[in-house]
């Protein structure tokens, strides 16, 4: 099953697992250096990428890696590894930027960790390119097309973020990941149109 994944998806998944194992032995040091901290004394530029390889427990990494497995492989097979990596990185970076803005406005000093920003970008990409693919909710187990699932999920994240519910979850980072994914798709479409027009 793991070997059947395209190479970039496999590498991202494996990197997350290796870092998670490292966290079990040096969690405090790893989080202090590589989690995403608000702009200030704890912030380092590399954190806008490295935070996406840290996780807060088994269930956190399990659900993120399950989503990466489900949606990343399909998108990488559709796009190729290079475009897939650019898309994933753009989602991670936009998620980080969005969360930094929120943390700055709220003046909250806490670390942000998890691959969720990149994963939410993948969710959006999957719904965009495979809109009629049926996805099954876990609770309740109701099948629905990908475009509806992602639209409802994005709306829920917005509501939870604005209302401050689940304040331990970086809802705006999730939305930022979706925004980054959407921007990359729009940029690629504009580039493709330009090539067809002037090529």
Residue 28: its pLDDT value, please? 85
Q: How do the residues of the chain divide into helix, strand and coil, expressed in percent and rounded to 5?
A: 70, 5, 25
pLDDT band (50, 70, 90) for residue 138 = low
Query: How many structural domains comprise the chain?
Result: 1
Half-sphere exposure (Cβ direction) of 155: Cα atoms closer than 13 Å = 6
Q: pLDDT confidence of 169, banded at 50, 70, 90?
A: confident
pLDDT, residue 139, reads 63
Mean pLDDT of 95-122: 91
| Prediction pTM value | 0.92
Find the domain containing 90 and state its range. Answer: 7-198
Under 8 Å between Cβ of 72 and 9: yes
Q: Within a domain: residue 2?
A: no
Helix residue ranges per DSSP H, 107-145: 116-129
Which CATH number belongs to the domain containing residue 110 in this structure? 1.20.1540.10
Answer whether 114's CB lies under 8 Å from 52's CB.
yes
Res 2 pLDDT > 70: no
Residues 72-86: pLDDT tens digits? 999 999 999 999 999
């Amino acid at each position: 099953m793991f070997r059947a994944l395209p190479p970039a998806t496999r590498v991202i998944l494996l990197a997350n697992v290796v870092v998670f194992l490292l966290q079990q032995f040096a969690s405090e040091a790893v989080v202090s250096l590589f989690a995403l901290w608000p702009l200030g004394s704890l912030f380092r530029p590399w954190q806008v990428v490295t935070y996406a390889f840290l996780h807060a427990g088994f269930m956190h990494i399990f659900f993120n890696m399950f989503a990466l497995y489900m949606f990343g492989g399909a998108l990488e097979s559709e796009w190729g590894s290079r475009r897939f990596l650019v898309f994933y990185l753009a989602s991670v970076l936009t998620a980080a930027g969005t969360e930094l803005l929120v943390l700055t406005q709220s003046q909250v000093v806490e670390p942000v960790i998890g691959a969720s920003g990149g994963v939410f970008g993948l969710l959006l990409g999957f719904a965009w390119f495979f809109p009629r693919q049926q996805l099954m909710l876990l609770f309740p187990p109701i099948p629905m097309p990908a475009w509806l699932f992602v639209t409802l999920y994005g709306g829920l994240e917005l509501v939870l973020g604005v209302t401050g519910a689940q304040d331990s979850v970086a809802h705006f980072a999730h939305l930022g990941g979706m925004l980054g994914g959407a921007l990359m798709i729009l940029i690629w479409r504009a580039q493709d149109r330009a090539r067809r027009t002037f090529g």
